[in-house]
Amino acid sequence: MNPFLEPLRSLEAQDRLRAVTALEGLPGKYVLREGRRCLNLSSNDYLGLSGHPKVRQAGADAALALGAGAGGSRLLGGGLALHRELESEVERIRPLGKALLFNTGFMANHGVIQALAPVLGPIFSDKLNHASVAEALRSVPGPFHRYRHRDLAHLESLLQSHLGTGGARSGNLPGLVCSETLFSMDGDFAPLKELLALQARYGFYLYLDEAHSTGCYPRFVADALSAGMGEGPAEGRILIMGTFGKAYGGFGAYVAGAPSLIDYLVNTARSFIFSTALPPAVLGSALQAIRTAEEEGWRREKLAAVAAFTRDLFRGRGFDIGASESHIVPVIAGSNRAAVRLSAAMYHAGYHVPPVRHPTVPEGTARLRINLTCEMETAEITALADELSSALDESANEAGDG
């Protein structure tokens, strides 16, 4: 008896069955999928740096000079000077004291939360945080609590219940609050200034996952931190996780925070300790990507302009894009089946945009997540809106109830 067939049949019946799609050639603004040329609306390469000549050359040069791999974990012979150079670059753009590289954002979130839970106590997590945070929470020995998405009144009620009015100042463990800065499925921003105001009252540690805002909105986080930090509870109690695998076009992740905190993670974060270190090509391309993003600021400006145009156009057409306020623009279809059909219709029209379904998003909010990049033009977005309108109308007619 094959134990896998029944679970697969169940997923298929729920329109949740996934399959790996092979794209041909270098992923970029356009991709070839089964021989069809499609505008790529699923890419995380928000600043178009993955194929940038300087970024590609820097990765190739590092591989030629230092080899294909690091040769081991950072603590057992795999640490290269290039690792520290990249960490120093992160410390420059996220000046919280010290930085540490991880192999992926998932591994960073998992390793950090597991390591901090025993010494910080209760964890409070936005309900729409990434699956890597949810997975880490399931494995921590202590209590955790989810607060309603961006609902700081709910968060404060949980803090009062589980930390006490004085928080860390009352002698309790300080607690850890986790939030994305830009939420990956809805495209909305966290209320950072309000979170920092809460931190000033309760003294918790704040862990910010800026995977989808890294490189795209540098002032959003920096301005909030500069306003909220200084002498007081926030000092030394903020950690930021960012990635090189999205706007910087490569691979890998980092965590930045106070020196003692990073030193603690070096000794306790198992996903760091027991993993082979990032290879030279990844390090070289990440270093160049950070510098290129700063040198070519037009990329961020163009991304913001295209995103604003898209949101206005889509809302004007009556599309349900939720609370999006960024370059991530969901088109909410409803059921899993509706999202699957809409994705298939868009593929036949020349667009690569896989469906995002429950349980990745709440039931009844399955969607096409439109990921915009700085390489897209407003004429292409207008054509996209036309195709979406036609596909949504056809889907409504098939459903028979609008």
Q: Give residue for tokens 């037009």.
A: 298
How far apart are the C-alpha atoms of 209 and 371, rounded to whole Å?
A: 18
Tell me how many degrees the CA angle 27-33-36 measures, rounded to the nearest 5. 115
Distance in angstroms (rounded) separating the CA atoms of residues 287 and 70: 16
Cα–Cα–Cα angle for 158, 160, 162, rounded to 5 degrees = 65
Tell me the DSSP string of 1-26. --TTHHHHHHHHHTT----PPPEESS
Contact (CB, 8 A) for 330 and 185? yes
Task: Answer whether the bond into residue 141 is a cis peptide, omega within 30°.
Answer: no
* Annotated catalytic residue, options 125, 179, 184, 275: 184
Q: Which two tokens stand for residue 381?
A: 């977005």
For residue 57, the Cα-to-chain-centroid distance in whole angstroms is 26
Compute the distance between CA of residue 260 and CA of residue 100 in angstroms, rounded to an integer.
12
Catalytic residue among 45, 87, 126, 180: 180
Q: What is the DSSP letter of 276?
A: B
Q: Which of 44, 129, 285, 343 is catalytic?
A: 44
CB neighbour class for 53 (10 Å; exposed up to 12, middle 13-18, buried from 19): exposed
**Identified catalytic residue from 162, 212, 302, 327:** 212
Closest C-alpha to 95, from 221, 252, 253: 221
Catalytic annotation present for 320:
no
Q: How many CB atoms lie within 10 A of CB 12?
A: 10
The catalytic residue among 52, 98, 110, 130 is 130
CA angle 216, 271, 75 (to 5 degrees): 105
44 is catalytic: yes
Q: Does the annotation count 348 as an active-site position?
A: no
Q: Which residue, among 309, 334, 273, 289, has the nearest Cα to 107 in the 3D structure?
A: 273
Catalytically annotated residue among 83, 98, 110, 246: 246
**Beta strand extents in 237-377 (DSSP E only):** 238-243, 253-257, 328-334, 351-352, 355-356, 366-371
* The three-state (H, E, C) secondary structure of 49-88, written as one string: CCCCHHHHHHHHHHHHHHCCCCCCECCCCCCCHHHHHHHH
Active-site annotation holder among 87, 209, 210, 375: 209
Q: What are the residue numbers of the active site? A: 44, 130, 180, 184, 209, 212, 246
